[in-house]
Amino acid sequence: MTNKPSVKRRPRWSQRPADEGWRRRMYDIIFEADDPAGKWFDIGLLLAILASITIVSLETVPAYRENGALLNAFELVEWVLTGLFTIEYALRLACVRRPMRYAFSFWGIIDLLSILPSYITIFIGPSSRSFVILRSIRLLRVFRVLKLWRMMDEADELSNAIWRARNKIIVFVVVVLVAVTISGTLMFHIEALTADGINTSSQFTSIPQSMYWAIVTMTTVGYGDVVPQTAAGKMISAVLILLGYSLIIVPSTFVSAEFVNQATHRSSHPCHYCEAYDQREDATYCYRCGKRLDG
């Protein structure tokens, strides 16, 4: 067989029910994207997630958060969505073979987290004392956006790629941290310290502030809220920018190289005869020895 069947790797907690009728059907709709009804389920879920995020966001806009009628409408839609997500959660629990494993898996917790805040707010009530707590709990609903992640076929692949590159990312962060600490301290010394004491008009008010500047600068974000004002500060910061820019290429290329290699080698099986790697994905014959790859 030359056609590679598209195998969707399933997480351990969600094995397809072996025998039962409606549970198996439900499982295919909820967990498999290939099923026609499953496609409609996915589209519905996508719309529900986007609507939910939109409402959580718009509730905080000043023009809307004083408009009572609009807030009531938001509330109504919110409860409908919470209802739908609750049904989704119940169905997922009902149709997987091992409900407890699902409930304590990463996605199970995300699914629970996307309905819990709405129910908790009933018990707290809109009393003024618990304003921040209430707000914070309501904002937790934003994690519903993570459900989008599960819908992507490439999500697993990407998570794995990030996981395999974790060492390189740590190296990257340590390099940046060392550079940020030293250049932040240097700039504080140049910009804020004078012969008379600490220059209070400088924007580099403290080392943590200078480190914030260094991070904003070395990642080339460059807000411009903290900026050197003395000639010496500008000169040193120009040197630091160039140095930082040159140095940041190193670890970020380190990380990139990891991914380029992974991408190159990802789907290739070596030739059985000469063990040449890096065959094209659609190759029938080995590029080096000319033998059939599936022979």
What is the rounded distance in angstroms from the CA atom of residue 294 to the CA atom of residue 186?
62
What is the rounded distance in angstroms from the CA atom of residue 271 to the CA atom of residue 290?
9
Q: Is 131 in the site for a second copy (CB under 8 A)?
A: yes
Residues 175-204 that bind a second copy (CB under 8 A): 175-178, 181-182, 185, 188-189, 192-195, 197, 200
Closest separation between CB of residue 17 and a second copy, Å?
30
What is the rounded distance in angstroms from the CA atom of residue 38 to the CA atom of residue 69?
36
How many residues form the binding site for a second copy (CB under 8 A)? 113
Q: Is 231 in the site for a second copy (CB under 8 A)?
A: yes
Q: Is 232 in the site for a second copy (CB under 8 A)?
A: no
Crossing angle of helices 106-113 and 68-95, rounded to 10°: 150
Decide whether 10 or 135 has the Cβ nearer to a second copy. 135
What tokens appear for 47 in the block? 């719309």
Q: Is 150 in the site for a second copy (CB under 8 A)?
A: no
Decide whether 127 or 246 has the Cβ nearer to a second copy. 246
Closest separation between CB of residue 127 and a second copy, Å?
13
Residues 27-56 that bind a second copy (CB under 8 A): 53, 56
Residues 63-122 that bind a second copy (CB under 8 A): none
DSSP 35: S
- Helices marked H in the chain — which ranges? 21-31, 36-58, 62-65, 68-95, 99-103, 106-113, 116-124, 131-139, 146-151, 155-164, 166-192, 207-218, 231-265
Q: Is 124 in the site for a second copy (CB under 8 A)?
A: no
Contact assessment for residue 139 and residue 53, using Cβ atoms and an 8 Å cutoff: no
Interacting residue with a second copy among 33, 98, 257, 272 (CB under 8 A): 257
Stretch binding a second copy (CB under 8 A), from 21-29, 32-40, 113-121, 275-283: 275-283
What is the rounded distance in angstroms from the CA atom of residue 19 to the CA atom of residue 16?
9
Decide whether 103 or 140 has the Cβ nearer to a second copy. 140
